[in-house]
Structure 1
């Protein structure tokens, strides 16, 4: 199971990297400082542009990037996923991953909240100093 998940993660990273335009860092955590989650659903960071000479403080609304699997409550990349509708207590863990308490919408057993994780480097990039989702939505200064 772990090798299957690793293969999926690597495939997603490859697809994400291929979709990025020139001047975009594929793993935002490698080119950004002061990374934190603010008010549960906003990613804040100071990111440098491709010349490495300018840093830009900005915030990304994760509601526009992340949703949940409605059965398992696992976090996933989804345009306009509205994570805030399903999850609470989101925090940054292990450098570039987010952890939240999320409740499934459809479940045969129960709808109890579960801890769910997502590596933000697999779907967030640094586009010349600005945080972006792989779909290019959600950034504001």
Structure 2
């Protein structure tokens, strides 16, 4: 019997960490200000904690929220992912947020929530090609985040 050595990686975690660090560098913010944070509770009783992959704060005020998914998205983002983003945006009283998928349709999608007016944006980060090309596409995502950022 022959054995092969290998490495097992959680690609969800690898993708999330790559996107978070690359965005942080592009936005010129610290780890304390931008990244994965426990942002509080969905309910007043404190039973449902909220921990988005991307949350940006300026002092005590939350400015942006987003989530990173290592899966393919098509024209219709997965409902559960949109519900999750809506919960984050609602809990932080933000006008919306951004879902970033590992691959999918090149055109971004925008969903405006009825009766709430929350703007849920969906984007795919194409990982094919060179590192420089991927980082350039991260730069485009950083511009979108800057546009979504709540002004203090």
Structure index of larger Rg? 2
TM-score by shorter chain over 0.5: no
Higher relative helix content: 2
Larger RCO (CA within 8 A; separation ≥ 6)? 1
Higher relative strand content: 1
